[in-house]
Amino acid sequence: MIQYFDPKKDKTRDLGTPEKKSEVQVSIQIDGVKVTVAQGTSVMRAAALVDINIPKLCASDNLEPFGSCRLCAVSIEGMRGMPASCTTPVREGMKVETQNNDLAKLRRNIMELYISDHPLDCLTCPANGDCELQDMAGTVGLREVRYGFDGENHLDAPTDDSNPYFSFDASKCIVCSRCVRACEEVQGTFALTVDGRGFDSKISAGQAEKFIDSDCVSCGACVQACPTSTLMEKSVIDQGQPDHSIVTTCAYCGVGCSFRADMKGDKVLRMVPDKNGQANQGHSCVKGRFAFGYATHQDRITSPMIRDSIDQPWQKVSWEEALAFAANRLKSIQLHHGRDSVGAITSSRCTNEETYLVQKLVRAAFGNNNVDTCARVCHSPTGYGLKATLNESAGTQTFDSVMAADVIFVIGANPTDAHPVFGSLLKKRLRQGAKLIVADPRSIDLVDGPHVKAQHHLKLRPGTNVALLNALAHVIVSEGLEDKDFIASRCDDKAFQQWHTHISDTRHAPENTADITGVDAQELRLAARLYATSGNGAIYYGLGVTEHSQGSSSVMAIANLAMVTGNIGREGVGVNPLRGQNNVQGSCDMGSFPHELPGYRHVSDNETRSLFEQEWQVTLDHEPGLRIPNMFESAIHGNFKGLYCQGEDIAQSDPNTQHVQKALTSMECIIVQDIFLNETAKYAHVFLPGSSFMEKNGTFTNAERRISRVRKLMPALADKEDWQVTISLAKALGYEMNYEHPSEIMDEIARLTPSFHGVSYDRLEELGSIQWPCNEKTPLGTPIMHTEDFVGKAGTFAITEYIATPEKVNKRFPLLLTTGRILSQYNVGAQTRRTDNQVWHGEDKFEIHPTDAQDRGINDGDWVGIASRAGTTALRAKISERMQPGVVYTTFHHPMSGANVVTTDNSDWATNCPEYKVTAVEATKVSEPSQWQADYQHFSNRQQRFLEQASKS
């Protein structure tokens, strides 16, 4: 097993009750050993800290103590009876005894009662060897059960197998309530209850429902908490206990959860959220925890393939042949159409090292800067907007910082679906009393959920974020709520004065923007006051901010809000972009944009370029290259002919699908490197099999700028890891890259990038993870940015004039369509559609307000044709009060849905990030799929046949 963390900081040992923080320290004696701990600490935890392990069943250090099992009883001098050590806080001078005859007898009696109502099938139980009940029976020395097993018991209680990933065997339940508390305290879903009392008490999902029918979101926290095999992963029930474990990082969303992969040989049995994980602290969501089966799915392609045209079947070839074919085609294209006729797209799903190599390949081997990344279509406005205001293209905080926030402003983000582990942390803070403002066209779960309610839901019209943000700033400035000291000491005065004049204008007053945003002026004023006057104010935003024609303006307006209220540079505040994919931050950091080398340095900067030229031994182009939309345009005009696309599915994920299809069919050589024949690969001439995150070493950088190790769990199914494939392609093109291990790539990144100077694999092993900047000044990384000063120069207020999107509703297209994600699926769905997560979301639905549905004669479940200026598709209707009249919504996880057939070419003025969130559409009841869907089905089936023919050859 890899030693990945300082054992002194290792949190994997369960200390029984949560850590308490206090200035006051208390000293007590336990079995004659003196221990000093913070006031409020339990006797159980104090004992565990000096390696005295008191027996326990209902306690766990990620849950508040409950005191139900009584197994942890101790004797305390001067106290009557035998109090439970988990619920008894330390008191100065306390003398505790954890072992004596009376305690031993009591504990044996308790265990005897438990065991008399428990199946005696330890040898065949899936938890054998990993069961706390079994351990405790041994610990207390239970040798016999005097009551026999014939009395009233629960041994016939049924098993609920409805969840695809875990089973609930009620006959083994000891009603310790750890699962109930985990669901409440850790996950915040409140899906479980203890029904009944005394002997009749039992655990129940929802209203005595099956798990699958309840509110359970399958996060796995209850499974993790269960001390017996009552709640257990089906994979372990089927295949037995693991034989070793390796710690790695989730490859789904930008939270970047750390997991312990429990393995049996080369096979992953289960993913257990890592308590040492600094982003997730032992919690997970259904995707990272359970939806990993795609990595070994039968659809994986493990042989390189080539073909002359997309009208031909695939031909399986050796790696050498495929790479030579690809390189010759690219060289020939450049010979005939010029150096700039080829380019590449990097992936935010791949590692930093892989992404770095792809941009290096483009700049050094293709000889141009035609490299872009899928971050173009999600968070490129974040990079632009935060750089322009805060001088650094990244979020300012740790996730943990939210626990110090007094007011939380969530705009254009849906954390409980898209960033679920952070969503749970946020809900925890709300339950502790922090206030919440939500700005979203839709009523997301946070607006009104179990024990969570937004003080203000600003249900704005899609496309009006800038008007709303300006109005909030206007209230703050016009009511004198700004933080004058912060502005004077930290921000550029000239820029502030200009902005102040601009924002003070009454055109930004909420009364004057209400017609634009649809948000009541008084409600907005109250929200602005709440954000500005409640103490620590933290802003969290997502793609609902960036994916607009004014995405960059919105990001700058958010930064303005944070600066004008002084909410930057300490715990509990800040500007926090919630990045979509696992490595969006990293792919941007690694120089994936056509105008920037790694570390966000412009390609026209001579000093930076010469640094890279020296290291890479080539001359670099000083002109920015093509962005993805420019590549498509250029392809349609016959100038851009060759594309290397690693781990990205532009045919499904990019807007205006028909335009993308036209661009793809215009090219002569498309090289797709992926684990599946994704939608883009159906247009490809070369297929290079990719490796999943389980098959390689590397690093991901999450939304907190946290760099975490990805560790190889099993050999690459296609023999090569992704970084090795890029090296081979470079070599085939005549450019040598020499690395034996991804750590050497990271060493090069660190040499060339100031904010990464201190990063290395050794340092990552030592610290667990690192938040950049990490260099000579900040060798341990930087959890909170801008604590003393903004990097480089003063904070810069930006003028953010609201300009309405060109996408307008009219009689023909009277509804506004906005898009988003759902918890169980991930992005284009290529991974999650190949898992049992399908049971929760087997198709994308079209959400429509009851009034709009009624006007159109649409009933729940009807097929609805959705037409926009770009195209037409059809989806099944879901009538939903979450929507506001005039606004409709869908997810985009299934290719057949064609959500992007209707989205348009409109994009952010600064970065070309597509305006996915605003499309004018009309919806009508239909009886068959759209023409596009019929054509897609035909094309897709044909390509699938070509793949099957290759498999047989």
Footprint on this chain of ligand SF4 (rule: CB under 6 A)? 173-179, 182-183, 187, 189, 191-192, 203, 216-222, 225-228, 230-231, 250, 252-253, 255-257, 280, 284-285, 287-288, 420-421
**The two structure tokens encoding residue 550:** 């004014």
Smallest gap from Cβ 536 to ligand SF4, in A, equals 24
Smallest gap from Cβ 53 to ligand FES, in A, equals 12
Question: What DSSP string runs through 890-922?
Answer: E----GGG-HHHH--S-B-TTT--B-TT-EEEE
Smallest gap from Cβ 110 to ligand FES, in A, equals 9
Smallest gap from Cβ 42 to ligand FES, in A, equals 9
User: What's the rounded Cα separation, in Å, for the pair 889 and 849?
Assistant: 10
Phi and psi, residue 306, nearest 5°: -135, 165
Residue 402, burial from CB neighbour count under 10 angstroms (0-12, 13-18, 19+): buried
From the list ligand FES, ligand SF4, none, partner contacted by residue 68 (C-beta under 5 to 8 A by kind): ligand FES
Smallest gap from Cβ 210 to ligand SF4, in A, equals 12
- Contact window for ligand FES (CB under 6 A) among 67-75, 244-252, 719-727, 930-938: 67-75
From the list ligand SF4, ligand FES, none, partner contacted by residue 572 (C-beta under 5 to 8 A by kind): none
Between 83 and 381, CB nearer to ligand FES? 83
User: What's the rounded Cα separation, in Å, for the pair 708 and 248?
Assistant: 8
CA dihedral 251, 254, 255, 256 (to 10 degrees): 40
First to last CA, the chain: 41
Task: Give 3-state DSSP helix, strand, coil % of the chain, rounded to 5.
Answer: 35, 20, 45
Residue 378's Cβ-side half-sphere holds a number of Cα atoms within 13 Å equal to 30
Between 77 and 195, CB nearer to ligand SF4? 195
Between 110 and 650, CB nearer to ligand FES? 110
Residue nearest to ligand SF4 (CB): 288
Q: Checking DSSP bridges between strand 872-879 and strand 845-848, what pairing results, if any?
A: parallel
Residue whose pair of structure tokens reads 């699938």 in the numeric block: 944
From the list ligand FES, ligand SF4, none, partner contacted by residue 67 (C-beta under 5 to 8 A by kind): ligand FES
Smallest gap from Cβ 70 to ligand FES, in A, equals 5
User: What's the rounded Cα separation, in Å, for the pair 105 and 117?
Assistant: 19
**Rule CB under 6 A: is residue 72 a binding residue for ligand FES?**
yes
Q: How would you label 921-951 residue by residue, b for 16+ Cβ within 10 Å and e otherwise?
A: bbbeebeebbebbeebeeeeeebeebbeebe
Contact 485, 566 (CB under 8 A): yes
Between 79 and 403, CB nearer to ligand SF4? 403
Q: How far is CA 655 from CA 376, 642, 868, 916, in A?
A: 12, 20, 12, 7
From the list ligand FES, ligand SF4, none, partner contacted by residue 530 (C-beta under 5 to 8 A by kind): none
Between 230 and 464, CB nearer to ligand SF4? 230
**Rule CB under 6 A: is residue 71 a binding residue for ligand FES?**
yes
From the list ligand SF4, ligand FES, none, partner contacted by residue 173 (C-beta under 5 to 8 A by kind): ligand SF4
Smallest gap from Cβ 43 to ligand FES, in A, equals 10
- DSSP class of residue 568 equals -
From the list ligand SF4, ligand FES, none, partner contacted by residue 390 (C-beta under 5 to 8 A by kind): none
**Rule CB under 6 A: is residue 56 a binding residue for ligand FES?**
yes
**Rule CB under 6 A: is residue 685 a binding residue for ligand FES?**
no
Smallest gap from Cβ 186 to ligand FES, in A, equals 17
From the list ligand SF4, ligand FES, none, partner contacted by residue 383 (C-beta under 5 to 8 A by kind): none
Cα dihedral sign for 676, 907, 577, 900? Answer: negative
Between 40 and 313, CB nearer to ligand FES? 40
- Judged by CB under 6 A, the residue of 28, 35, 82, 86 near ligand FES is 86
Smallest gap from Cβ 38 to ligand FES, in A, equals 19
**Rule CB under 6 A: is residue 67 a binding residue for ligand FES?**
yes
Give me the helices (H) in 479-622, please.
484-490, 493-504, 510-517, 521-533, 543-546, 551-564, 584-589, 606-616
From the list ligand FES, ligand SF4, none, partner contacted by residue 578 (C-beta under 5 to 8 A by kind): none
From the list ligand FES, ligand SF4, none, partner contacted by residue 192 (C-beta under 5 to 8 A by kind): ligand SF4
Question: What DSSP string runs through 288-325?
Answer: HHHTTGGGG-TT---S-EE-SSTTS--EE--HHHHHHH
- Judged by CB under 6 A, the residue of 52, 57, 405, 798 near ligand FES is 57
Between 186 and 603, CB nearer to ligand FES? 186
Beta bridge partners of 771: 706
**The two structure tokens encoding residue 573:** 């505040």
Contact 255, 419 (CB under 8 A): yes
- Contact window for ligand FES (CB under 6 A) among 26-34, 53-61, 683-691, 715-723: 53-61
User: What's the rounded Cα separation, in Å, for the pair 575 and 410?
Assistant: 10
Smallest gap from Cβ 579 to ligand SF4, in A, equals 10
Which helix or strand (DSSP H or E) is residue 466 part of? helix 465-478
**The two structure tokens encoding residue 207:** 């209203």
Between 104 and 155, CB nearer to ligand SF4? 155
- Judged by CB under 6 A, the residue of 28, 69, 253, 524 near ligand FES is 69
**Rule CB under 6 A: is residue 669 a binding residue for ligand FES?**
no
**Rule CB under 6 A: is residue 68 a binding residue for ligand FES?**
yes
- Contact window for ligand FES (CB under 6 A) among 28-36, 66-74, 151-159, 827-835: 66-74
How many residues touch ligand FES under the rule CB under 6 A: the total is 12
Which helix or strand (DSSP H or E) is residue 359 part of? helix 352-360
**Rule CB under 6 A: is residue 178 a binding residue for ligand FES?**
no
Q: How far is CA 692 from CA 232, 251, 355, 589, 720, in A?
A: 26, 9, 14, 21, 11
Between 181 and 329, CB nearer to ligand FES? 181
**Rule CB under 6 A: is residue 82 a binding residue for ligand FES?**
no
**Rule CB under 6 A: is residue 84 a binding residue for ligand FES?**
yes
Smallest gap from Cβ 198 to ligand FES, in A, equals 17
Beta bridge partners of 887: 816
Contact 454, 473 (CB under 8 A): no
User: What's the rounded Cα separation, in Å, for the pair 413 and 426?
Assistant: 13
From the list ligand FES, ligand SF4, none, partner contacted by residue 56 (C-beta under 5 to 8 A by kind): ligand FES
Give me the helices (H) in 856-902, please.
899-902
Contact 586, 257 (CB under 8 A): no
Smallest gap from Cβ 245 to ligand SF4, in A, equals 17
Contact positions toward ligand FES, by CB under 6 A? 56-59, 67-72, 84, 86
